[in-house]
């Protein structure tokens, strides 16, 4: 690798996947037959999709991930190349690239994911080049290969580069990653799995306290997103959209929040933009199908209707769940 590796806006280390998106008239019952409405092969994966969104919004981007030496691996590489992402691939010989079968319920757009990942695809700390991280303005990692993600996050923190962690499950070693993460953007279920506390009003301050994070947040699906910045809560209700496929909504939310960080926006604006970007992505098929231009997202956020608020945040940042 050349010594003059370019500085990029976003570096991402983590998952990619080849999704087979199967639209169904309804979710199938056990031991039944259901007619398929459509089948599409789409590129997906948490970090890869977020990096693609950042690139489409005009940011320069680097991706580090693993694939097998199969057709799906070639597909992933072509997709990132088309997007203009600087990619560094760890190719596992004789391995099948990560895959998912995504069952989409046509009336609601909600998805159920069946996935597989060959252990040969595991990214290890020794696979990483420190320059991939240090030559970036921001680092995005997921928690799947937690030791490697934690190593990348430690390098970033040493170089005073902000770290965004997308964590959705309790992977081995994820605590080490959280210790070096500035922004933890988690799934709704993650705090309960890690801390045994399901209420985000208690769990988010606990996460920040235990791991020293600058901001902790959870995505709440149709109830929006809630964040704690160490002093106050911030809440963004979800936008109303005609959902076609909710695959990738969280990935694009993370990308939207990253865009806001790099733009120097305040937390509330970051949450609003991220929520709007995620909502619009749900109006098309695939994890990256509905990534909209920045100006379209901003117009949508200003004009679109929101779902009923699930939380009330007072003027001093105190929050309470609204009673149904």
DSSP string, 204-257: HHHHHHHHT-SEEEEE-GGG-EEEE-SS-EEEEPPBP---S--TTHHHHHHHHH
DSSP code of residue 125: G
Task: Provide the pLDDT for residue 70.
Answer: 97
Q: What is the DSSP string of 152-181?
A: HHHHHHHTT--EEEEE-S--TTHHHHHTT-
- Cα(first)–Cα(last) distance of the chain, in Å? 57
> How is the beta sheet containing 111-116 ordered, strand by strand?
38-44, 17-24, 99-105, 111-116
Average pLDDT across each block of 10 residues of the chain; the chain has 324 residues. List them in order. Answer: 80 97 95 96 97 98 98 97 98 97 95 96 97 98 96 98 96 95 97 95 97 97 95 96 95 98 98 97 96 98 93 88 78
Q: Which CATH architecture has domain 8-16+45-97+119-318?
A: 3-Layer(aba) Sandwich (3.40)
The values of phi and psi at residue 288, to 5°, are -120, 10
Give Cα separations from 211 to 166, 205, 216 (angstroms): 15, 10, 10
| pLDDT the model gives residue 238 | 95
Confidence (pLDDT) at 4: 77
Per-domain residue ranges for the chain?
8-16+45-97+119-318
């Amino acid at each position: 690798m050349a010594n003059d590796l370019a500085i990029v806006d976003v570096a991402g280390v983590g998952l990619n996947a080849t999704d087979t998106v199967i639209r169904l008239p309804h979710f199938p019952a056990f031991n039944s037959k259901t007619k398929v409405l459509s089948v599409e092969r789409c590129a997906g994966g948490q970090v890869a999709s977020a990096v693609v969104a950042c690139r489409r919004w005009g940011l320069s981007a680097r991706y580090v991930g693993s694939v097998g030496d199969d057709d799906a691996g070639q597909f992933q590489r072509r997709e990132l190349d088309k997007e203009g992402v600087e990619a560094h691939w760890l190719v596992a010989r004789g391995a099948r690239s990560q895959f998912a079968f995504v069952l989409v319920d046509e009336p609601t757009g909600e998805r159920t994911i069946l996935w597989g990942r060959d252990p040969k695809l595991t990214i290890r700390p020794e696979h990483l080049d420190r320059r991939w991280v240090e030559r970036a303005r921001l680092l995005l990692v997921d928690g799947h290969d937690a030791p490697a993600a934690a190593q990348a996050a430690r390098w970033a923190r040493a170089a005073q580069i902000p770290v965004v962690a997308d964590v959705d499950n309790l992977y081995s070693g994820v605590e080490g990653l959280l210790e070096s993460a500035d922004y933890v953007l988690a799934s709704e279920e993650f705090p309960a799995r890690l801390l045994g506390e399901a209420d985000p009003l208690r769990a988010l301050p606990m996460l920040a306290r235990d791991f020293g994070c600058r901001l902790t947040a959870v995505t709440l699906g149709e109830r929006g997103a809630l964040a704690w910045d160490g002093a106050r809560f911030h809440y963004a209700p979800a936008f109303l959209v005609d959902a076609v496929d909710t695959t990738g909504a969280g990935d694009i939310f993370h990308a939207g929040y990253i865009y806001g960080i790099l733009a120097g926006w305040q937390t509330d604006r970051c949450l609003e933009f991220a929520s709007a970007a995620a909502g619009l992505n749900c109006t098309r098929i695939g994890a990256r199908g509905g990534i909209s231009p920045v100006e379209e997202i901003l117009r949508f956020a200003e004009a679109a209707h929101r779902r009923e608020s699930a939380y009330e945040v007072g003027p001093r940042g105190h929050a309470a769940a609204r009673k149904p």
